[in-house]
Structure 1
Amino acid sequence: MASTAAVPNLAFRRLRGPRSAGEFAAAVRRAAREIGEQVACDARYIGRVESGEIRCPNYAYERVFLHMFPGLALTDLGFSARETVRGRGARIASGPPPAAGHAAPSPSARPGRAPDPDEGPAGPGVPGAPDIHDIPEESDVLRRVFMTSGTATVAAASLGFGRPHASAAPRVSLPAQRRVGEAEVSAVEEAVRQIRLLDDRRGADGLYRRAARPLRAAYELLDAGTTARRATSDRLHAGAGELALSVGWLAHDSGRLDDARSHYAEALATARLAGDAGLEAHAFCNTSFLARDAGRPREAVRAAEAGLRAARTLGSHRLVALLALREAGGRAGLGDRTGCDRAIGRARSAFERGPAAGDPEWMSFFREAELELLEAQCWSALGDWSRAARHGRRATVLQDAHFTRNLALYRAQLTADLARAGRVDEAAATGHQVLDLLDRVQSSRIRGMLAEAARMLEPRAGAADVAAFLARHGTFPGASDGPGRTGTED
């Protein structure tokens, strides 16, 4: 099928006015936060819109744009009507067909899932069907991770969520002509965004094994591919490194700490080879977090300090704040109350300087609620349960309900701190709130944290509220899991 030439979106360009594409993308992200949305908007996305490559935004972006420009419709913003951009899936090479008897409908054809036009090609959808933000379980959102583009292609890789059998998922294959272009690099970057989105909504369990497939393909491209431009090569290195960190986080959150360490080291090596300070800072940030969780607090401090050195030239106060909190967590593990308190103070000072154009895309999770949660963890590690609970309560109040996994995690942290502080009735009530979310969130970490809190409450099982929580908790899978450490990440 011949593709239609893109028509520049001049109306959208006029709305941007004198702002640069990067400045306008930052404004879009701020507007998204105002209405509780999460979009990974950057200058490249704005360029794709203005060039006409994105004829209609996905539902999340639609809500943000209509919030930014009240009284205007999508067509006033220069976009095409949604129904006119459906059915682009014919231009996509699919993977091998499922085995007989195990056929699964394509995600775009399943009831209740309309394709978002700018999320990548998709088949015909059901007009008016809900989008990803309206569905309790996003089983289909990673529909196409790598897309075809002439002879430079990684053919039809998908994470295959919602398929009845793993064998039904398309396989990753490299082209005979291993030349990497815009489509392949964009696909790697999109895989990162989609994995982070799913983790925010559902947790890591069940995602990790499938997410390893596009990661392998990305590194095969790095090892065997050639690119036409240095900028494309730099983006591929950055995208592959961020993908390694995202997959490493899924391993981390699902209790596979050795796997996580390997993925984080891979990302750090990629950052060093590419001379990418932002990726290096991110890798050290995750490595510090992992070291704390693995009981290596001194390593956590050293990794956080290395991340701060890498972040010096990036112009992101929020990144400095997060790395200072990683250092604080390590110092709390060492029992260094003074050093921990000082690191928290530096983190709060940096955070209060506000967002900046240099803030990395992956830090969308790091808001005031996360700052409060990380401080709560520090005081919990130092044995100041009441202070930890105060910050934990504030974190749960501030947390955006769209981050379902983090909301469950914050409440699990609070349940344990309240139990340790002797506030058992409040702990039981908070524990019930965590259980309310566990049918939507799959995280070994959170189950482990709640199991630890339940064990602390067992001596008070004579209290009616505690007994009710313990009885309900005992009916959930993984109720007897071992203790879990806390923390969040993109």
Structure 2
Amino acid sequence: MASSRSVPNLAFRRLRAQRSPGEFAAAVRRAAREIGEQVACDARYIGRVEAGEIRCPNYAYERVFLHMFPGLTLRDLGFLPREQVRGRAARTPAPAPAPVPATNHTGDTSEESDVLRRAFMTTGPATVVAVSLGLGGSAEAAVPGPREAGSRRVGEAEVSAVEEAVRRIRLLDDRHGADGLYRQAAQPLRAAYALLDAGTPTRRSTAERLHTGAGELSISVGWLAHDSGRFDDARSHYAEALATARVANDPAVEAHAFANTSFLARDSGRYREAVRAAQAGLRAAAQLGSSRLLALLSLREAAGWAKVGDRAGCERTLTRAVAYFDRGPSDADPEWMSFFGEPELEAQKALCHAALGDARRAARHVYRATALQDPHFARNLALYRAELATNLARAGAPDEAATAGHQALDLLDQVQSSRIHTRLAATVRALLPQRRLPEVATFLERHAATDPRA
């Protein structure tokens, strides 16, 4: 969010040269792919850097920028040292941070995770939106009453706060899972819809961004509810996002809402609904120009067909998904799809084959997912390892299943996800007949000691 004390980053602006912010953002995303990073860079992010609002990039962006401009330091790029930025933040009064679970990460990953979690809990999206509304810095104040909201005009600062809330929630979810974030994330969501109720953006483009931001925030909070096992809450948030998208005639948010609704329907046992929601998402996405989005929605549809036992429908839709995926990424890919690479493609194939009863084939695909997954996405890596353990157990490889189960448990100090615990419980059920084997027995004992539902 803009600050009266922000100093424009002229050095970074000079590096952009004659390229537009959108062209430069595309170059950043290409550079990220070259080194195996995934960053959600767009023209607005570049604008915020150049305006001095981002005084030091996070570690992923730092690696990308230094790759793009070899021989230059962060200071050469116009950024402040990370410790200087933290020092300023530390002098700003804030509530005591919530306890942060110990992690096994070392180096940059653990440091970044700790800083991001504390930032969310103390000066994160809820506080940002509250300050934008002029309501003070507490999370509780981030939800204005109708009279307060109605007296305010909505501008760039408020919309940027909503967009930043979406980005930060997604990043923390990728690192840690949903269980510890859901209640905190509900605060900025209520503030975002209070901004919509205020209803007086100064520009049409601002109004469109506010609707998009509110819809995406509703989906992000819905996903946190989904991943933490609160299915009814998730369904409500996804429906709210879909309504917001249709009011604003925003097919991108509509496609995203349908993608998540399909996923939720599959997890909830409503398999025909999973197919229909994915098909609706494909219709919304057809005009957006993103093959990767079409691939993901096709995978959602294939999973629904697999769950109803329609092997032909599943195989046909998987073939279509792979064809879309093989067209490669593009600048039209939505920002929220940063998680969707080859590991997720393999994991989704595995889910389909597992649902069709082919555990060996599913294990092969999900093993590839674990081998390819960037360890920064700790939640997904833990989930893939849990899926691998379950499929190996069902395929008659109990020792290998126990080993994969141990690897999933290794990540649970960092990741809080009810969905992963549910997957591990399935592994336990599949391994119980082999509990006399030493490796299996060790895993079962360790799981029983760590399962929060035990």
Q: Normalization by structure 1: what TM-score? A: 0.83
Residue among 159, 166, 170 paired with 1:185: 159
Instruction: Please tell me whether the aligned partners of residues 399 and 407 of structure 1 are also in contact (alpha carbons under 8 angstroms).
Output: yes
Counterpart in the other structure of 1:7 = 8
Counterpart in the other structure of 1:485 = none
User: Once structures 1 and 2 are overlaid, which stretch shifts more, 190-199 or 471-480?
Assistant: 471-480
Instruction: Please tell me whether the aligned partners of residues 254 and 444 of structure 1 are also in contact (alpha carbons under 8 angstroms).
Output: yes
Residue among 337, 362, 374 paired with 2:348: 374
State the Cα RMSD in Å.
2.7
Cα shift at 1:477: 2.7
Cα shift at 1:26: 2.4
- Over 3 Å counting, the alpha-carbon distance change for 1:420 and 1:87 in structure 2 is closer
Residue among 134, 138, 145 paired with 1:153: 134
Instruction: Please tell me whether the aligned partners of residues 60 and 133 of structure 1 are also in contact (alpha carbons under 8 angstroms).
Output: no
Cα shift at 1:275: 0.6
Instruction: Please tell me whether the aligned partners of residues 109 and 376 of structure 2 are also in contact (alpha carbons under 8 angstroms).
Output: no
Counterpart in the other structure of 1:140 = 118
Task: Give 5+ residue unaligned stretches, structure 1.
Answer: 96-103, 113-129, 159-168, 481-490
User: Once structures 1 and 2 are overlaid, which stretch shifts more, 397-406 or 18-27?
Assistant: 18-27
Instruction: Give, as a single letter, the amino acid of the residue that structure 2 aligns with 1:343.
Output: T
Cα shift at 1:60: 3.4
- Over 3 Å counting, the alpha-carbon distance change for 1:240 and 1:426 in structure 2 is same
TM alignment of 1:71-82, pairs within 5 A: 71-81=71-81
- Over 3 Å counting, the alpha-carbon distance change for 1:461 and 1:416 in structure 2 is same
- Over 3 Å counting, the alpha-carbon distance change for 1:22 and 1:464 in structure 2 is same
Instruction: Give, as a single letter, the amino acid of the residue that structure 1 aligns with 2:241.
Output: A
Instruction: Give, as a single letter, the amino acid of the residue that structure 2 aligns with 1:21.
Output: P
User: Once structures 1 and 2 are overlaid, which stretch shifts more, 70-79 or 184-193?
Assistant: 70-79
Paired residues in the alignment total: 439
- Over 3 Å counting, the alpha-carbon distance change for 1:133 and 1:311 in structure 2 is farther
1:190-235 CA distances to partner (integer Å, 9 max, x unpaired)? Answer: 1111111111111111211221111111111111241100111111
1:329-383 CA distances to partner (integer Å, 9 max, x unpaired)? Answer: 0100111111111111111111111111110000000010000000000000000
Residue among 262, 266, 275 paired with 1:301: 275
Cα shift at 1:273: 0.3
| Secondary structure in structure 2 of the residue aligned to 1:474 | helix
User: Once structures 1 and 2 are overlaid, which stretch shifts more, 140-149 or 252-261?
Assistant: 140-149
Cα shift at 1:33: 4.2
| Secondary structure in structure 1 of the residue aligned to 2:415 | coil
Instruction: Give, as a single letter, the amino acid of the residue that structure 2 aligns with 1:467.
Output: A
| Secondary structure in structure 2 of the residue aligned to 1:180 | coil
Cα shift at 1:29: 2.6
- Over 3 Å counting, the alpha-carbon distance change for 1:224 and 1:390 in structure 2 is same
- Over 3 Å counting, the alpha-carbon distance change for 1:441 and 1:358 in structure 2 is same
Cα shift at 1:244: 0.5
| Secondary structure in structure 2 of the residue aligned to 1:29 | helix
CA distance in 2, matches of 1:401, 1:303: 31
Counterpart in the other structure of 2:64 = 64
Residue among 238, 253, 262 paired with 1:288: 262
Instruction: Please tell me whether the aligned partners of residues 153 and 201 of structure 2 are also in contact (alpha carbons under 8 angstroms).
Output: yes
Counterpart in the other structure of 1:405 = 379
Counterpart in the other structure of 1:31 = 31
Residue among 96, 101, 110 paired with 1:105: 96
Cα shift at 1:456: 1.2
TM alignment of 1:23-422, pairs within 5 A: 23-81=23-81, 104-105=95-96, 134=111, 137=114, 139-142=117-120, 143-145=123-125, 146-147=127-128, 153=134, 155-158=136-139, 172-173=143-144, 175=148, 177-422=151-396
Instruction: Give, as a single letter, the amino acid of the residue that structure 1 aligns with 2:20.
Output: S
1:88-114 CA distances to partner (integer Å, 9 max, x unpaired)? Answer: 66998x78xxxxxxxx5368xx9x9xx
1:245-299 CA distances to partner (integer Å, 9 max, x unpaired)? Answer: 0110111111111111110000000000001010000000001111111111111
1:390-444 CA distances to partner (integer Å, 9 max, x unpaired)? Answer: 1011010011100001000001111111111111111011011111111211111
1:140-199 CA distances to partner (integer Å, 9 max, x unpaired)? Answer: 1312324379985354254xxxxxxxxxx7654465631111111111111111111111
Relative contact order (C-alpha < 8 Å, sep 6+): which is higher? 2
TM alignment of 1:419-458, pairs within 5 A: 419-458=393-432
Instruction: Please tell me whether the aligned partners of residues 382 and 408 of structure 2 are also in contact (alpha carbons under 8 angstroms).
Output: yes
- Over 3 Å counting, the alpha-carbon distance change for 1:87 and 1:454 in structure 2 is closer
User: Once structures 1 and 2 are overlaid, which stretch shifts more, 20-29 or 336-345?
Assistant: 20-29
TM alignment of 1:469-488, pairs within 5 A: 469-478=443-452, 480=454
1:461 aligns with 2:435: yes
Instruction: Give, as a single letter, the amino acid of the residue that structure 2 aligns with 1:261.
Output: R
- Over 3 Å counting, the alpha-carbon distance change for 1:296 and 1:17 in structure 2 is same
Instruction: Please tell me whether the aligned partners of residues 325 and 374 of structure 1 are also in contact (alpha carbons under 8 angstroms).
Output: yes
1:58-79 CA distances to partner (integer Å, 9 max, x unpaired)? Answer: 4432222112111012232233
Instruction: Please tell me whether the aligned partners of residues 144 and 194 of structure 2 are also in contact (alpha carbons under 8 angstroms).
Output: no
**Percent of aligned pairs sharing the same letter:** 65
Q: Normalization by structure 2: what TM-score? A: 0.89
Cα shift at 1:36: 4.8
CA distance in 1, matches of 2:59, 2:371: 27
- Over 3 Å counting, the alpha-carbon distance change for 1:91 and 1:148 in structure 2 is farther
